[in-house]
Amino acid sequence: MRPELKEVQLLEAYLQGRLTEEQQLDVAVRLLWDQDWQQKLAAQKRAYQALRLAGRQQLRRELDALYVRLFG
């Protein structure tokens, strides 16, 4: 995997608290001074938020279709 993707993976694991204690701390410290990382982390959180909204919308559509099929 190219380094950019590894970084996405690392920040994901950090947000989920899946890193070792030492690694969590490393990332947390880097986030204190690295503005580029701060922005990437903020964007990544927003990406997950967008996916939750899109998923919810899809589920709503599936439920609407089920309603029509079963009771419409």
- Distance in Å, CB of 22 to another protein, minimum: 23
State the angle between helix axes of 21-33 and 35-71 in degrees (0 to 180), rounded to the nearest 10.
Answer: 110
Does 13 participate in binding another protein (rule CB under 8 A)?
no
| Tokens standing for residue 24 | 């969590």
Stretch that binds another protein, among 14-22, 24-32, 56-64 (CB under 8 A): 56-64
* 3 alpha-carbon distance from chain centroid: 18
Does 29 participate in binding another protein (rule CB under 8 A)?
no
Does 25 participate in binding another protein (rule CB under 8 A)?
no
Other beta carbons within 10 angstroms of residue 19's beta carbon come to 16
Does 9 participate in binding another protein (rule CB under 8 A)?
yes
